């Protein structure tokens, strides 16, 4: 019987109980069986490594540690000084500081990491993704010290890391490639000449690039010159390599990638596809497996070409071959990522394979345990990248701060959360603002999406801005539900930018009725003290209220009557029945409105009684931008918490600012 692999919690929310709690997180495997057994269990007779160092941080470090624990491998975590209390540090058997917060002095500090490897006698290193995961020099230095790199060899890393070389290799392996210039573009004049020969529009991109950096689309000569200048500058600053290539821009494409797995014995498999078309600034936001768009023939052709490329470079490990797919299902090689991909969990869910375990086995020299015919598509999985970002600004600009309250929706079925944070964790300017990867699994796409909707509604994040409202809107958008998507989905679906959920008339009435019922419940509770009326002489109990509820720019009259444990609420001349346990101590409230269940979040309540509610993922609020700071090559917006006049500005453009620094004074 095949097993679809997702993990949840052994019970309870992530809290502050340090090591024990951290080890329990995401420890339970949800195995959903179908036609053939896929074992993700560890065989104790299959010896691999005694100790493994994870050269990474955050959720991916935690992810690797979980599999290592299952396999009986001791783990070593590295960390910067600001990450000393991070979750991955608490989970590992050993942890060593490798430097201060800036990545160049810690997680990219090869000398310091090599010293830790020697000190702890780690036999192998898993690089995760990002940082040193695709750095051929790091892999070479490990090999020279007799330490196993959990990934491909340096030849494959170099070949696939260079977009020009990888495109030539793909052509030779008979992989479909995008028409374009195969060499290095020398200057802006040559860029214009090449662009004219290829035909507009064209994509200008960094040869050593990735993550959406160093990429520009040009529709004419002027944009080509401008794109060449900006892309070369960005490529030089991001990758230390300003070489550019130009190729035909595939308008309105889908971004679909194939997961491959290969060993050192010439065996290679394709583990089906992942649909990654929902993107902002060329960075993925929502992924799913499989894709709604591919038919079996196209899937097989893409898989076979991906395997052909892997074999051409003698690839051995887990890797991902990315393709652009047009509306006619023509597909073109984009790049190969020689590492574990961020979105690998959706593949694990539909195949039952633990990709980290497979990487470790391959690195030790074991052959693959499965044949291509064994690889199933069992059910459907969706992943949302939950970021500390303000989705109302360019679909997401980073937010920094401390997680004052944090509760993952692991009480729901078939939910997996890959995270590396907990309540009290800081989202800093130094690292990627990802909070977690939220994954849901279902027997079909509709079930997986419904579970994702519920999971997003039940995800409690306080202290930083987050993109849950955007994620929720994407997965319920009619175009997304129908599978009518492309890499242009976000700007096409929200041409004026994301504004939050637009309430229908029915949803507006539900929200007004819920808010009114919550208000009355709070009023009734405030009259009681330890179960006794504060004013004992009050004999009668009030059972009806005439209220005015402010929503957005409008004020609405609402009549509320209490009937036993429920409320009858009249809005717009229509009566709605509202029931709930009304546990005001919980951040989550499950409310039933005329038979429809909704999960709302009570975010705050001020001294005057005004309550802020998250309903259908969205909270409506206003703020004036007073200052913008740069973090992780992106911009952070600082928002005024109250109305006032700027009294003084204590920073200037280019200054480095830290937590607690005074930037702007208001009066």
The DSSP result for 584-601, as a single string, is: TTSSEEEEEETTEEEEEE
Among 378, 395, 379, 375, CA closest to 387:
395
Instruction: Tell me the backbone φ, ψ of residue 550, rounded to 5 degrees.
Output: -90, 125
Among 528, 408, 305, 508, CA closest to 10:
408
pLDDT band of residue 163 (cuts 50, 70, 90) is confident
Residue 182: predicted pLDDT: 74
- SS3 (DSSP) at 219: coil
Instruction: Tell me which of 31-35, 226-230, 425-429, 454-458 is least confident.
Output: 31-35
Task: Say if residue 533's pLDDT is above 80.
Answer: no
The yes-or-no answer on residue 665 being catalytic is: no
Task: Say if residue 367's pLDDT is above 90.
Answer: yes
Pairing of strands 588-593, 574-580: antiparallel
| Three state DSSP letters for 302-318 | HHHHHHHHHHHCCCCEE
Residue 15: predicted pLDDT: 33
Quick: pLDDT tens for 459-503.
999 999 999 999 999 999 999 999 999 999 999 999 999 999 999
Residue 651: predicted pLDDT: 77
Percent of the chain with pLDDT over 70: 85
Residue 630: predicted pLDDT: 39
Task: Say if residue 592's pLDDT is above 90.
Answer: yes
Task: Catalytic residue, from 223, 288, 335, 473: name it.
Answer: 335
Structure tokens belonging to residue 545: 């209220």
pLDDT band of residue 532 (cuts 50, 70, 90) is low
Helix boundaries (H) for 322-442: 344-351, 355-364
Please tell me the distance from the alpha carbon of residue 520 to that of residue 567, in angstroms, as a whole number.
Answer: 9
Top pLDDT among 234 and 538 is at: 234
| Three state DSSP letters for 604-660 | EECCCCCEEEEECCECCCCCCEEEEEEECCEEEEEECCCCCCEEEECCCCCCCCCCC
Top pLDDT among 646 and 498 is at: 498
Please tell me the distance from the alpha carbon of residue 428 to that of residue 440, in angstroms, as a whole number.
Answer: 28
pLDDT band of residue 3 (cuts 50, 70, 90) is very low
Top pLDDT among 187 and 14 is at: 187
User: In the chain, what are the helix, strand and coil shares in percent, each to the nearest 5?
Assistant: 30, 30, 40
605 Cβ contact partners less than 8 Å away, ≥ 6 residues apart: 522, 611, 612
Structure tokens belonging to residue 119: 């000190």
Task: Say if residue 39's pLDDT is above 70.
Answer: no
Residue 658: predicted pLDDT: 63
b/e sequence 476-488, b meaning 16+ C-beta within 10 Å: bbeebeeeebbbe
Instruction: Tell me the backbone φ, ψ of residue 71, rounded to 5 degrees.
Output: -90, 0
Residue 662: predicted pLDDT: 78
Mean pLDDT in residue range 507-514: 94
User: Is the distance from CB of 256 to CB of 273 less than 8 angstroms?
Assistant: yes
Strand stretches in 137-231, DSSP E: 148-149, 180-181, 202-206, 215-218
User: Is the distance from CB of 578 to CB of 592 less than 8 angstroms?
Assistant: yes
Quick: pLDDT tens for 272-319.
999 999 999 889 999 999 999 999 999 999 999 999 999 999 999 999
Residue 305: predicted pLDDT: 98
Pairing of strands 611-614, 397-398: unpaired
Residue 14: predicted pLDDT: 33
Mean pLDDT in residue range 560-582: 93
Top pLDDT among 425 and 1 is at: 425
Please tell me the distance from the alpha carbon of residue 637 to that of residue 627, in angstroms, as a whole number.
Answer: 6
For 506, other C-beta atoms within 10 Å of its C-beta total 13
Mean pLDDT in residue range 540-546: 80
Quote the pTM value: 0.82
Mean pLDDT in residue range 122-139: 97
Residue 35: predicted pLDDT: 29
Residue 369: predicted pLDDT: 94
Top pLDDT among 588 and 658 is at: 588
With residue 74 as reference, give the H or E element that holds it.
Answer: strand 74-80
Among 423, 436, 342, CA closest to 389:
436
User: Is the distance from CB of 578 to CB of 563 less than 8 angstroms?
Assistant: no
Mean pLDDT over the full length of the chain: 86
For 69, other C-beta atoms within 10 Å of its C-beta total 17
Top pLDDT among 141 and 214 is at: 141
Helix boundaries (H) for 240-354: 296-312, 344-351
Structure tokens belonging to residue 492: 């096409």
Residue 237: predicted pLDDT: 73
Among 667, 641, 660, 659, CA closest to 101:
659
Say which DSSP state 177 is in.
Answer: B
Structure tokens belonging to residue 579: 């029931």
Give, to the nearest 10 degrees, the angle between helix 163-172 and helix 296-312: 110
Residue 645: predicted pLDDT: 60
First CA to last CA distance, the chain: 67
CA atoms within 13 A on the CB side of 105: 8
Residue 609: predicted pLDDT: 61
Say which DSSP state 444 is in.
Answer: S
Mean pLDDT in residue range 235-247: 82
Task: Say if residue 243's pLDDT is above 90.
Answer: no
User: Is the distance from CB of 150 to CB of 126 less than 8 angstroms?
Assistant: yes
Residue 625: predicted pLDDT: 40
Whose tokens are 């002095």? That residue is: 105
pLDDT band of residue 209 (cuts 50, 70, 90) is low
Whose tokens are 């997304």? That residue is: 480
Whose tokens are 């797995």? That residue is: 261
467 Cβ contact partners less than 8 Å away, ≥ 6 residues apart: 285, 386, 387, 389, 390, 391, 396
Task: Say if residue 385's pLDDT is above 80.
Answer: yes
């Amino acid at each position: 019987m095949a097993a679809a692999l997702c993990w949840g919690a052994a019970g309870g929310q992530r809290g502050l109980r340090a090591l024990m709690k951290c080890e329990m997180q995401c420890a339970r495997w949800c195995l959903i069986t179908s036609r053939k057994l896929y074992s993700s269990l560890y065989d104790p007779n299959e010896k691999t490594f005694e100790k493994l160092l994870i050269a990474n941080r955050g959720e991916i470090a935690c992810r690797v540690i979980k599999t290592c624990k299952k396999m009986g491998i001791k783990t070593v975590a590295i960390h910067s000084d600001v990450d000393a209390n991070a979750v991955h540090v608490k989970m590992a058997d050993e942890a060593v500081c490798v430097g201060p917060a800036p990545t160049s002095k810690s997680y990219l500090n090869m000398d310091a990491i090599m010293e830790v490897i020697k000190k702890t006698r780690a036999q192998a290193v898993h690089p995760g993704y990002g940082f040193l995961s695709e750095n051929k020099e790091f892999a070479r230095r490990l090999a020279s010290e007799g330490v196993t790199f959990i990934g491909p060899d340096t030849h494959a890393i170099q070949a696939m890391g260079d977009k020009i070389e990888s495109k030539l290799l793909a052509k030779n392996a008979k992989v479909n490639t995008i028409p374009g210039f195969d060499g290095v573009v020398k200057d802006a004049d040559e860029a214009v000449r090449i662009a004219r020969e290829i035909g507009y529009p064209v994509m200008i991109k960094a040869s050593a690039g990735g993550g959406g950096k160093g990429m520009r689309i040009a529709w004419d000569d002027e944009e080509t010159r401008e794109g060449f200048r900006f892309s070369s500058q960005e490529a030089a600053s991001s990758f230390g390599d300003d070489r550019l290539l130009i190729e035909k821009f595939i308008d309105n494409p889908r971004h679909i990638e194939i997961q491959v797995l290969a060993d050192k014995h010439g065996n290679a498999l394709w583990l089906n596809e992942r649909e990654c078309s929902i993107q902002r600034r060329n960075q993925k936001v929502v992924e799913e497996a499989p894709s709604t768009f591919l038919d079996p023939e196209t899937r097989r052709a893409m898989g076979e070409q991906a395997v052909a490329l892997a074999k051409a470079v003698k690839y051995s490990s887990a890797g991902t071959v990315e393709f652009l797919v047009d509306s006619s299902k023509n597909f073109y090689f984009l790049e190969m990522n020689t590492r574990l991909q961020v979105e690998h969990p959706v593949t694990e869910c539909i195949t039952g394979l633990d990709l980290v375990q497979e990487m470790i086995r391959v690195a030790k020299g074991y052959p693959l345990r499965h044949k291509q015919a064994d690889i199933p598509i069992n059910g459907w999985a969706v992943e949302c990248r939950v970021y500390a970002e303000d989705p109302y600004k360019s679909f997401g600009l980073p937010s920094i701060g401390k997680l004052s309250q944090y509760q993952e929706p692991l009480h729901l079925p078939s939910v997996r959360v890959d995270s590396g944070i907990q309540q009290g964790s800081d989202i800093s300017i130094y690292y990627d603002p990802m909070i977690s990867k939220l994954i849901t699994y279902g027997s079909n796409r509709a079930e997986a999406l419904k579970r994702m909707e519920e999971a997003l509604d039940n995800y409690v994040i306080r202290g930083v801005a987050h993109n849950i409202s955007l994620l929720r809107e994407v997965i319920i958008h009619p175009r997304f539900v129908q599978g009518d998507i492309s890499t242009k989905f976000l700007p096409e679906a929200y041409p004026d930018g994301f504004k939050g959920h637009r309430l229908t008339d029915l949803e507006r009435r539900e929200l007004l009725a819920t808010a009114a019922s919550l208000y009355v419940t709070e009023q009734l509770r405030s009259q009681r003290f330890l179960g006794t009326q504060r004013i004992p002489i009050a004999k009668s109990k009030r059972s009806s209220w005439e209220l005015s509820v402010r929503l957005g720019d409008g004020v609405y009259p609402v009549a509320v009557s209490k009937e036993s444990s429920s409320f009858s609420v009249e809005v717009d001349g229509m009566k709605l029945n509202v029931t709930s346990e009304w546990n005001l101590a919980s951040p989550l409230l499950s409310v039933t409105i005329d038979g429809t269940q909704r999960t709302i979040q009570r975010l705050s309540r001020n001294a005057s009684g005004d309550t802020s509610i998250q309903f259908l993922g969205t909270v409506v609020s206003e703020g004036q931008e007073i200052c913008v700071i740069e973090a992780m090559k992106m911009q952070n917006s600082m928002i005024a918490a109250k109305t006032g006049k700027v009294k003084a500005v204590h920073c200037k453009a280019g200054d480095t600012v830290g937590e607690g620094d005074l930037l702007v004074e208001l009066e």
